[in-house]
Amino acid sequence: MTESKPAAVVLDRVSKCFGSKQVLTGVSFSVPRGEAVCLLGRSGTGKSVALRLMIGLIKPDVGDIFISGDNISRLDGKELSRARCKIGFLFQGAALFDSYTLHDNLALPLRRLTRKSNLEVEEIVDRALNQVGLAGDKHKLPGALSGGMRKRAGLARALVLEPEVLLVDEPSSGLDRITASEIDDLLLEQKALHQTTMVIVTHDVHGARRVGDRFAVLDEGRLIALGKPQELENHENETVRKLVAEE
């Protein structure tokens, strides 16, 4: 390890299988506080599984995962809920509640997981929606929003608890290049203003090069490369070179 800053995310020899299928094998890497690591790899290499492990939706078979000092892989119940308050998760499809307005989607985690007053909840929701450019849409249902607006709404919801760590699954999926770039801008702003640590799963190398400080490349469930994009361009592994090449 060469990082001088303390690590906010640590995966230590993490392995996971589903039945007879080995999805991750001995994966280890860390993310210094305030930096972004982009997880790259072909489909089915375990990238999204790694995110689900980091949020505690599933447990590793072997290894440990630390998020802001909490061993997520060993927590359950109230302890896991407490640790998750430090983590924001932007799902690939935004995962908004269709029957809730945009306002209520954002207010829900604040009301369930904090003791903030109604006034405080309103202020935080308005601030988060304003940050992603949706201040005038808070009474709309998700079905009335475009794909890009839903993605921004999902990001706002991920940020209402002011997480120390933000996990992002395919931020540009289904978006045109201009809208995807707007999402990248929001992630960059969050990192710059709030020093939020990020782990981003993406197939979008252009966006990854804008937002990511380093790339972690997975292949067949194993970490085969970790470094800055420029360092990996001439990597000895052809898969790494192809995955980090600019389009």
Same-domain pairing of 239 and 138: no
- 242 burial class (0-12, 13-18, 19+ CB within 10 angstroms)? exposed
Same-domain pairing of 20 and 75: yes
- Tokens 């909490």 sit on residue: 70
Same-domain pairing of 77 and 170: yes
pLDDT for 5 equals 76
Tell me the C-alpha distance between 109 and 103, whole Å. Answer: 11
Same-domain pairing of 240 and 185: yes
Of the three residues 162, 187, 210, the one that is the final residue of a domain is 162
Q: What is the pLDDT along the chain (247 residues), one digit of tens a residue?
A: 444 678 999 999 999 999 999 999 999 999 999 999 999 999 888 999 999 999 999 999 999 999 999 999 999 988 998 899 899 999 887 788 999 999 999 999 899 888 899 999 999 999 999 988 898 999 999 999 888 899 889 999 999 989 999 999 998 888 888 888 999 999 999 999 999 999 999 999 999 999 999 999 999 999 999 999 999 999 999 999 999 987 6
CATH number at 32 reads 3.40.50.300
Range of the domain at 236: 1-86+163-247
Tell me the C-alpha distance between 128 and 35, whole Å. Answer: 21
pLDDT for 72 equals 95
pLDDT for 4 equals 62
Q: What is the pTM of this model?
A: 0.91
- CB 63 within 8 Å of CB 14: yes
Same-domain pairing of 222 and 132: no
Same-domain pairing of 47 and 81: yes
Tell me the C-alpha distance between 189 and 144, whole Å. Answer: 26
Same-domain pairing of 52 and 150: no
Separation in Å, CA 212 to CA 62, 115, 221: 27, 34, 21
Same-domain pairing of 77 and 169: yes
Same-domain pairing of 172 and 77: yes
Same-domain pairing of 45 and 132: no
Tell me the C-alpha distance between 108 and 125, whole Å. Answer: 10
Same-domain pairing of 203 and 232: yes
pLDDT for 27 equals 97
The radius of gyration computed from the CA coordinates of the chain, to the nearest angstrom, equals 18
What is the identity of the amino acid at 32? P
Of the three residues 113, 132, 162, the one that is the final residue of a domain is 162
Number of domains present in the structure of the chain: 2
